[in-house]
Amino acid sequence: KDKVVIITGASSGIGKATAMKLAKEGASVVLCARSEDELNQLKEKIEKNGGKALVAIMDVTKPADFKKAVSQTLDKYGSIDVLINNAGLMPLSYIEKLKTEEWDKMIDVNIKGVLNGVAAVLPTMRKNKSGHIINISSSAAHRYFPGGAVYSATKVAVKMFSEGLRQELAPTFGINVTSIEPGAVDTALYETITDDDIKEKLKGMMEMTTLESEDIANAIFYALNQPDRVNVNNIYLMPTEQG
Ligand code: NJP
């Protein structure tokens, strides 16, 4: 309630659902992504329902974009309580195909995007001696799936970085850190897979009842709404039907 929350990847899927949930619960949400139209539409929708939202167009791979979003947030709301590093990509491929440009993209967005976010908000949270950083990792940090070696590696990095961050920031600065690790969620992420063989292999998984973006939004809400003494380190959620 009344928290100021920066959410990356707010134009779609998990980020969008989380923005709607947190705004409904009283937070001021800062909607970050590259797709301006989607963000403006979401802001309108949130405001129509009585919520508070700000749009900050950003490419998470650009530290300057993050810095700008932070100053826009401070100008409008005066503080930053929560950062949700959610933006991510999953162009799956087999290593032997050497799709090195896609490897770079995943490393830039899924890992460096998270680091850029932390670097941008940390001065404010340190000064306040409070805050909460939530990083969206994946069940892929626990298990390999077809074509997912590089994607999994990025999500292991996010999970491990989150634990290091927690140990460094929580006891000293009162900044909580949570890694969210979902199994398959019904979002646009799967539509971006171009490799037919991999698509075929994952078809069964996606035909099962997957998680919904709202399920992840609820998990984030839970992590954010604990007493100060509690740090929720990880939330690992799988669809019931997925083995
Ligand atoms: O995917 P999708 P999800 N700069 O495609 C943004 C993880 N996850 O909601 O910039 C800034 O609907 C993009 O915005 P735009 C997954 O790894 C998912 O499923 O406008 N933003 C869009 O808002 C990811 O970390 C599943 O194109 C950038 C958003 O990212 C997170 O959940 C399972 C950007 C992607 O929305 C959200 O993904 C799992 C950039 N350079 C983990 N590049 C799952 N869906 O099954 C992309 O374990 N975005």
Confidence of residue 199 (pLDDT cuts 50, 70, 90): confident
As a dihedral over the C-alpha atoms of residue 212, residue 216, residue 221, residue 223, rounded to 10 degrees, the angle is 150
Confidence of residue 192 (pLDDT cuts 50, 70, 90): confident
Could you give the domains of the chain?
Answer: 4-237 (3.40.50.720)
Q: According to the model, what pLDDT value does residue 126 have?
A: 97
- Judge whether 151 counts as a catalytic residue: yes
pLDDT digits (tens, 9 = 90+) for 2-34: 899 999 999 999 999 999 999 999 999 999 999
User: Which residue puts its alpha carbon closest to atom 48 of ligand 1?
Assistant: 138
Structure tokens at 193: 């897979």
Strands, E, within the chain: which ranges? 4-8, 28-33, 52-57, 82-85, 131-136, 175-182, 234-237
Q: Specify which of 142-151, 183-192, 215-224 reaches the highest per-range mean pLDDT.
A: 215-224
Q: Can you tell me the distance from the alpha carbon of 124 to that of 18, in angstroms, rounded to the nearest whole number?
A: 22
58: nearest Cα among 67, 47, 48, 71? 67
Active-site hit among 151, 190, 222, 236: 151
Farthest-apart Cα atoms in the chain, separation: 51
Q: According to the model, what pLDDT value does residue 163 have?
A: 98
**CA–CA distances in Å: residue 172 to residues 7, 36, 164, 194, 216:** 24, 37, 13, 45, 28
Q: Is the pLDDT of residue 128 over 70?
A: yes
Q: Is the pLDDT of residue 108 over 70?
A: yes
Confidence of residue 1 (pLDDT cuts 50, 70, 90): low
Q: Would you tell me how many other CB atoms lie within 10 Å of the CB of residue 19? A: 30
Going from the Cα of 117 to the center of ligand 1, the distance in angstroms, rounded, reads 15
Instruction: Check pocket membership of 15 for ligand 1, CB cut-off 6 A.
Output: yes
Q: Can you tell me the distance from the alpha carbon of 216 to that of 210, in angstroms, rounded to the nearest whole number?
A: 12
The stretch 116-137 carries a mean pLDDT of 98
pLDDT digits (tens, 9 = 90+) for 80-100: 999 999 999 999 999 999 999
Instruction: Check pocket membership of 186 for ligand 1, CB cut-off 6 A.
Output: no
Model confidence, pTM: 0.98
Contact call for residues 134 and 180 (beta carbons, < 8 A): yes
Going from the Cα of 171 to the center of ligand 1, the distance in angstroms, rounded, reads 30
Q: Is the pLDDT of residue 179 over 80?
A: yes
Average pLDDT, the chain: 96
Instruction: Check pocket membership of 8 for ligand 1, CB cut-off 6 A.
Output: yes
Q: Which residue has the tokens 């923005």?
A: 19
